[in-house]
Amino acid sequence: MEETMEIGLSHPYYDVVVIGGGAAGLMAAGTAARTGKKVLLLEKMEKPARKVRITGKGRCNLTNARSVEEFAENVRTNGEWLKVAMSEFTNRATMRFFERMGVKLVTERGERVFPESGKAADIANALEFYCRDYEVDIQCHSRVTEILVSDGKVYGVKYMNKRGFIRKIEVANVIIATGGVSYPATGSTGDGYTFADRVGHTVESVRPSLTPLVSNHPQIEYIKNVWLKNINARLFVAGEMVREEFGEMSFSDRGLEGAVILRLSRDAVDALLDEKSVKIELDLKPALTEDILRERIKREVAEMRPEDFFAELVRRLVPKPLVVPICKELDVHSRLYISKVSDKEFERLIKVLKGWSFPISDYAPFEYAVVTAGGVSCSEVNEYTMESLKVKGMYFAGEVLDVDANTGGYNLQIAFSTGHLAGLLKK
């Protein structure tokens, strides 16, 4: 059983307490310490940066080297508001920062930046080293339970330490960098929303983003563990196409996922929450028009023997695991002789290859979502300082804010930029 004995308010020693040792919190803590502040970082898990260690499939896509304009296009919420933070600590600044910390970087397709080692742990360790180098006091197993506020000003925090004691610390500044609620096993369980809500901040409704989508298409059970490259996916909401993405996707036990689906998921989730109909159409042959595809099929058929099966033709056009599902979708027997396939059936094949339609019935929950959309309303946070407009000395950084972006390194850059700005503790 947890003890909850309270220990009295300790004398002021720290200039700032940073709550949460993720990407934003470590950047904020290190920056505050580098500029001469006494910093305490409280992290509830056994070690900091658990989420950073699993980013980019363990490789950490830490930022994106695209231009400011292209970068802004990939920020989905409050992009304008973020501009100050992003210009004070740009993607170039992030790259310089890690290179100075001894982490060699590589830029890959789509201008995505990774550590050359391919190890996300190098990024997590560099952030922690930055803090330790400037003597940030990092205390793990320390969950902040309350931020003490009086007369519109922060005067302390309460936290539960490793031994289950509640400690109070007197401090005039806190930086809330508690993240969102996605992948809660990493420690991000939405505590920052509660802290913000208690002092009257608006918390915009939180929902999963960059999350797999669930389809109740009858063929879905036959399409498992299939990766598709170079496909075009179109998102339809209430019958209208709202977004289109090109790249990779996969079918898994969770449903449709992979980069293009994750990028479409934000709009899909919002539409599902609005109870609108949602479907995704997959163009498996985006480089070919229907006419060129028709010619290609004619050529393939001409090369085949009359007794070859329809499945052989489909196999020549798509990856093997899709052959049976496509035959089922067309309701054409896979072992039908090619000489017996009707013109109508060839036309239906063209339609499916150019626009295979998957109704979307649901989305995967926060446990599988790369980021959380929604959060502390940016309209109540000073964009030049990250300080609350409601409570003096209360700052926000990272995913706890109502900011989110596409895949590609943008979300970590947001954490670094807002963390850096908050860490400057500007008034």
Q: Which residues bind ligand FAD (CB under 6 A)?
A: 19-25, 42-45, 50-52, 54-56, 60-61, 143-144, 177-179, 182-183, 187-188, 191, 370-371, 398-399, 409-412, 415
Q: Which residues share a beta bridge with 398? A: none
Cβ-based nearer residue to ligand FAD, 217 or 420: 420
410, HSE (Cβ side, Cα atoms, 13 Å): 25
Cβ-based nearer residue to ligand FAD, 192 or 325: 192
In angstroms, give the least distance from the CB of 387 to ligand FAD: 17
- Supply 284's token pair: 């498996």
Distance (Å) of CA 159 to CA 17, 85, 378, 403: 11, 29, 26, 27
Cβ-based nearer residue to ligand FAD, 20 or 255: 20
Cβ-based nearer residue to ligand FAD, 28 or 327: 28
Cβ-based nearer residue to ligand FAD, 71 or 410: 410
Query: Residue for token digits 């006419």?
Result: 291
Rounded CA gap, 420 and 103, in Å? 19
In angstroms, give the least distance from the CB of 91 to ligand FAD: 11
In angstroms, give the least distance from the CB of 412 to ligand FAD: 3
Helices vs strands, H then E, count in the chain? 13, 20
Cβ-based nearer residue to ligand FAD, 57 or 427: 57
Cβ-proximal residues to 283 (8 Å cutoff; 6+ apart), any chain: 231, 232, 233, 234, 353, 354, 355
* Residue 412 near residue 20 (C-beta atoms within 8 A): no
In angstroms, give the least distance from the CB of 106 to ligand FAD: 14
In angstroms, give the least distance from the CB of 160 to ligand FAD: 9
Rounded CA gap, 76 and 213, in Å? 18
Query: Residue for token digits 């740009």?
Result: 90
In angstroms, give the least distance from the CB of 48 to ligand FAD: 6
